[in-house]
Every structure is written in structure tokens, then in C-alpha cells.
Amino acid sequence: MARRLRCNGTDSKNGGCPAIHEDIDSGEVIVQGPPVSDCADLAQLRHLGPDEVAVVVPRELLVNHGPKEMARVPKLIGLAEFGRLFETFENSAWHLETRRGYASDREDPGFAEFRRTGRAPMDLGSDWCVNIRRQTSRGKYVGRVRVLDDPPTEGQLFLLDYSRCNAATGEDVRSIWRQDARRAHLPAEDFWIFDSRLVAVLRFDEQDAFHDVEVITEPAEVLRYCQARDAAVRHAFPYDEFTARLRAD
């Protein structure tokens, strides 16, 4: 069975070799780089077996993208502390949404309104919208990419229509099909990135209920999420363009 590999990163300016990958299941690290081929160099290597190869990688690659711990101990924060991140971030806040539905949406009166009318409410007076408008009015960037199945679930259609409200607060709101998200190697998890230095991974139970937040600040891990953000923004479409394409189909 093929390994499930995750690219931790590369220092190559064109996105190529050398690079470090990690086996998601075993935690083993795979380093790729140009092979050592000079016989005099190979003769100096100890313990190199007949079926093994040696590769050359810059020291910076290991420092920047190699794992720093044997096993990361999750750091969890409460919902109140998570909420304060949206008030204290300095430059940017960005969200990837990957789930087929959210229990909090289904419990919202606006979801019932969407079921009746086909339109999500424009609740610009909510605490969330008021704060985001305040942040974007100060020149800060707030954005999100929503992953949709084909065909979209009812919950995803609700959020797609609610994107009108997100955009009205100054958010950069985009959408992407799940198959395109897979091709772009986006992670299948919900997370926020604050100021490109802190990642908040949102954790849900089997009923789609949001229950806690894992905070990641380890630079190599944060960089991996930032790379996913860049790929998501590149491949996703602005919500209104995405909606127009969906209706045309």
C-alpha cells in the first residue's frame, strides 16, 4: 500500500528539489535531493548499504522544514481565547473550510430562513460582522476559501449564499470544488491562520459540532499551512463567480 506523504516544504526558489516529506501515518521523514555520485565521496560514507542512496540537501532545509519534536503535544485553547484572536490579529486572518456541514449552522435561525426562501440572511449587525468590518476598515486582510462537494450539500449551499454577507464585511471570500482542492494538495481540515505565525486548527465531533481549537506556532508547521493557503487562494474562485458557474451548470 502506498504511503500517505505530506510535503513539509522546500527551500528551492522554483518549488523543486531538494525537499522534505513526512509519512502522515508513521511519522517517518523522507528527504529528496540530488544523489551523491562521486566515488570518492561515496567511499567516505559509513554504513551505506548496497540498496541505499545518499542525497545532498542544504542545512537550511533541515532547519526550516524538518520536524523539531518526536511527537507534537497538542496545545488546546478555549473558545473565548480563540475569539480574542479575531480582535487582536495585526495584519491578516485566513480560513479554510472543508466540512460538508456544521452543526452551528443548522441550529442558526438563518439556516431555517435559507430553507424557506433559498437566501441566507444578511446579518451585518451581528457581533462577528461588526468586528470583521472594523478590522478590514483598518486595512487588515481577512479571507477564506470554502471547499464544496459536487453536488454541494445543503449546508455548503447555505454558506455559499452567506458569502454575500462575508464579502460585505470586507472579506476575500472564495470557493473551490473538493476534487480541485485534492489536486492542489489542500489539507482536509478546518483552520485559521493569524498573521502567518499562528495556526488555529478547528476540531469537530462526528455530529459536526465545534468543540475545541488546537494552536500551532512551530515555524515549519505554520509554513506548511501558509503554503496550503497560497495554493487555495490561487485555485479558488471568488464566491460570486463560483456561484454564477454553479447556476450555469
Question: Which H or E run includes 201?
Answer: strand 198-204
Task: Give the distance, in angstroms, between the CA of residue 210 and the centroid of all CA atoms in the same chain.
Answer: 17
> Cβ neighbours of residue 84 under 8 Å, at least 6 residues apart?
none
Grid cell listed for 125:
449587525
Phi, psi of 147, rounded to the nearest 5 degrees: -95, 130
**For residue 68, how many other CB atoms are within 10 A of its CB?**
10
- Which residue's C-alpha cell is 479575531? 86
> Cβ neighbours of residue 70 under 8 Å, at least 6 residues apart?
none
Phi, psi of 172, rounded to the nearest 5 degrees: -90, 100
- 160 closest CA partner among 145, 171, 170, 143: 145
pLDDT in tens, the chain (249 residues): 788 887 877 776 555 678 888 887 777 888 888 888 888 888 888 888 888 888 888 888 777 777 766 666 678 998 899 999 999 999 999 999 999 999 999 999 999 999 999 999 999 999 999 999 999 999 999 999 999 999 999 999 999 999 999 999 999 999 999 999 999 999 999 999 999 999 999 999 989 999 899 999 988 889 999 999 999 999 999 999 999 988 887
3-state secondary structure of 115: helix
